[in-house]
């Protein structure tokens, strides 16, 4: 990590101030001995690299302040290959320490006898001053890094909040909207900029500042919206009362018409899927169901391959309900749908304090939640390479390492993966780990696309006509 270029502007300002006050020249080199800051004649040296035999290199290596009263002749200059060309008359070199290691040097340089008298005449004072300046630069870098981390976390949080289907509004203590996610703007048929600084009571009349002031715990109520046509929302209001945050409220909402869809999706996700639910009487589909049924009772990993829409998750659920693990959980994870920045914590969990915002007590990951059952990893071909090694360890050793954890957590699961990509080709081209591919594909099952078993089309047509005729309460007899 090269530190000084990160704060070069600030370091140059410090150097110019020192040169102006002290009447001597100032230079700074980074950990690679590259001159990044200079005053006076040393401004021309910016971009040049010092020799590895220089005293600055020695000060960096030893991590201590060094004083040269007589360049070319002092013992510390004996190894320097450039000592005969040196024009300095005196130097004080102080390392800049970042996280306990030297990351560069600040150098006070006397180029004239009068400047040497200034440096050497009150040497200890200048050493103390220089060490404080080095510490100031170190602090500036640390603050910049903390700010960069905070900004990065804020961007990650925005991505997560924007991925939620519910509308989310952050309300200040005065009842004014401070932030709206993309779903809120979409549901309210507005833009985020238009919502910002708007009184929340303009949107939800029941949520006046007085009403919000009475909210001391989570509340679940339905509020009407008067923006455009009269609409109704299922709304949750939660107060923010953290000592480290401004006081206010968070409002989440969704259209009341979403409730039937939510119930239907829940019922659909919880329903039992069997091999009889998988349509298709062709030889190709019969072979798929036969293979899946024959391996359902085992514990070997299964890789289901097939194009989008071929029913990979349906087959995985059928295997689950025919297996000895059907009393355990079936946990499905879409590796492509979860932002990469939080995928690791979602899969493997984390301990308390693992990162900013980590829940008290930590959180188990999907692997732990699937303990005793089956973990279904959909779109496994989209898993980032840096997580594939951790997944391989979980598959091989049946343990997971939580973020921030000190010991491995044992798991008892069966893993079924699915993908619409050719993992074998990806592994040959470096896009997927070959060792992980072979671990996941102990039992490969390929679901053919419909074009390869067109004889099943009449069966599918009859099924979907009957299904949607019932759902839409229409009397459809044929296509």
**365-417: pLDDT as tens digits:** 899 889 899 999 999 999 988 899 999 999 999 999 888 888 888 999 999 99
Residues 295 and 402 in one domain: yes
Q: Which residues contact 209 (CB under 8 A, 6 or more apart)?
A: 174, 175, 201
What's the rounded mean pLDDT across residues 126-147?
A: 78
**CATH code where residue 416 lies:** 3.40.50.300
Q: Is 225's pLDDT higher than 50?
A: no
| 17 inside domain | yes
State how far the Cα of 22 lies from the Cα of 128, in Å rounded to an integer: 14
Residue predicted with more confidence, 156 or 90: 90
Residues 84 and 8 in one domain: yes
What's the rounded mean pLDDT across residues 45-68?
A: 83
pLDDT of residue 267: 47
What's the rounded mean pLDDT across residues 435-452?
A: 94
Q: Which residues contact 93 (CB under 8 A, 6 or more apart)?
A: 55, 56, 59, 65, 66, 67, 68, 105, 106, 107
What tokens were used for 269?
């996700």
Q: Is 418's pLDDT higher than 90?
A: yes
| 47 inside domain | yes
What's the rounded mean pLDDT across residues 411-431?
A: 92
Residue predicted with more confidence, 461 or 265: 461
pLDDT of residue 241: 63
Given pLDDT bands bounded at 50, 70 and 90, which one contains residue 160?
confident
Residues 308 and 200 in one domain: no
**CATH code where residue 135 lies:** 3.30.450.40
Residues 173 and 142 in one domain: no
Residues 431 and 359 in one domain: yes
Residues 61 and 201 in one domain: no
Residues 131 and 170 in one domain: no
What mean pLDDT is reported for the chain?
A: 81
**CATH code where residue 236 lies:** 3.30.450.20
The answer to which of 52-66, 324-338, 344-358 has the lowest mean pLDDT is: 344-358
State how far the Cα of 94 lies from the Cα of 256, in Å rounded to an integer: 67
pLDDT 10s digits, 261-274: 555 455 445 556 78
Owning domain of residue 345: 272-448
pLDDT of residue 445: 95
Q: Is 226's pLDDT higher than 50?
A: no
What's the rounded mean pLDDT across residues 93-118?
A: 82
Residues 220 and 326 in one domain: no
Q: Is 157's pLDDT higher than 80?
A: no
What tokens were used for 308?
């989008």
The dihedral region occupied by 72, where left means phi > 0, alpha psi between -120 and 50, and beta the remainder, is left
pLDDT above 70: percentage of residues in the chain: 86
Residues 299 and 426 in one domain: yes
pLDDT 10s digits, 280-296: 899 999 999 999 999 99
Q: Is 242's pLDDT higher than 70?
A: no
Given pLDDT bands bounded at 50, 70 and 90, which one contains residue 297?
very high
Residue predicted with more confidence, 255 or 224: 255
Given pLDDT bands bounded at 50, 70 and 90, which one contains residue 224?
very low
Split into its structural domains, the chain has a count of 3
pLDDT 10s digits, 324-337: 898 888 999 998 88
pLDDT of residue 263: 54
What's the rounded mean pLDDT across residues 311-328?
A: 90
Q: Which residues of 29-38 are buried (b: 16+ CB within 10 A; e: fewer)?
A: bbbebbbbbb
Residues 280 and 208 in one domain: no
| 478 inside domain | no
Residue predicted with more confidence, 8 or 364: 364
pLDDT of residue 227: 46
pLDDT of residue 209: 64
What's the rounded mean pLDDT across residues 69-90?
A: 77
| 205 inside domain | yes
Residues 42 and 89 in one domain: yes
The answer to which of 106-115, 210-219, 352-361 has the lowest mean pLDDT is: 210-219
Q: Is 150's pLDDT higher than 60?
A: yes
Residues 233 and 367 in one domain: no
Residue predicted with more confidence, 264 or 320: 320
Q: Is 189's pLDDT higher than 60?
A: yes
């Amino acid at each position: 990590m090269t530190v000084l270029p990160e704060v070069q502007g600030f370091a140059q300002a410090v150097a110019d101030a020192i040169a102006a006050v002290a009447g001597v020249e100032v230079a700074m080199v980074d950990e690679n001995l590259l001159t990044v800051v200079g005053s006076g004649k040393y401004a021309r040296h910016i971009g040049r690299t010092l020799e590895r035999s220089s005293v600055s290199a020695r000060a960096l290596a030893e991590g201590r302040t060094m004083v040269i009263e007589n360049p070319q002749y002092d013992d510390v200059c004996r190894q320097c290959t450039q000592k005969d060309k040196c024009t300095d008359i005196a130097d004080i070199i102080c390392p800049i320490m970042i996280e306990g290691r030297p990351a560069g040097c600040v150098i006070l340089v006397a180029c004239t006898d009068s400047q040497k008298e200034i440096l050497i005449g009150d040497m200890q004072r200048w050493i103390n001053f220089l060490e404080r300046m080095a510490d100031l630069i170190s602090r500036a870098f640390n603050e910049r890094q903390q700010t960069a981390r905070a900004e990065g976390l804020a961007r990650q949080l925005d991505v997560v909040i924007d991925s939620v289907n519910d509308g989310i509004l952050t309300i200040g203590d005065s009842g004014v909207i401070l932030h709206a996610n993309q779903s809120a703007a979409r549901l309210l048929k507005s833009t985020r900029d238009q919502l910002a600084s708007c009184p929340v009571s303009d949107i939800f009349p029941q949520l006046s500042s007085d009403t919000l002031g009475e909210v001391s715990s989570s509340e679940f109520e339905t509020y009407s919206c008067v923006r455009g046509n009269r609409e109704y929302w299922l709304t949750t209001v939660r107060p923010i009362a953290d000592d480290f945050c401004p006081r206010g409220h968070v409002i989440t909402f969704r259209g009341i018409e979403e409730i039937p869809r939510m119930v239907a999706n829940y019922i659909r996700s919880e329903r039992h899927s069997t091999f009889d639910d998988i349509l298709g009487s062709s030889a190709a589909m019969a072979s798929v169901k036969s293979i899946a049924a024959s391996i359902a009772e085992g514990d070997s990993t299964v890789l289901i391959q097939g194009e989008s829409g071929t029913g990979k998750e349906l087959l995985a659920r059928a295997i689950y309900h025919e297996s000895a693990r059907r009393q355990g959980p079936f946990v499905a994870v879409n590796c492509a749908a979860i932002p990469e920045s939080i995928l690791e914590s979602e899969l493997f969990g984390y301990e308390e304090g693992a990162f900013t915002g980590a829940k008290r007590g930590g959180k188990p990951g999907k692997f732990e939640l699937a303990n005793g059952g089956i973990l279904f990893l959909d779109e496994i071909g989209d898993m980032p390479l840096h997580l594939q090694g951790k997944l391989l360890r979980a598959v091989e050793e049946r343990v997971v390492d939580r973020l921030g954890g000190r010991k491995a957590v044992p798991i008892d699961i069966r893993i079924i993966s699915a993908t619409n990509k050719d993992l074998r080709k990806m592994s040959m081209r470096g896009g997927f780990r070959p060792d992980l591919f072979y671990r996941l594909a102990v039992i490969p099952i390929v679901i053919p696309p419909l074009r390869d078993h067109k004889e099943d089309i009449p069966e599918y047509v009859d099924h979907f006509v009957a299904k949607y005729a019932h759902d839409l309460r229409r009397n459809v007899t044929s296509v």
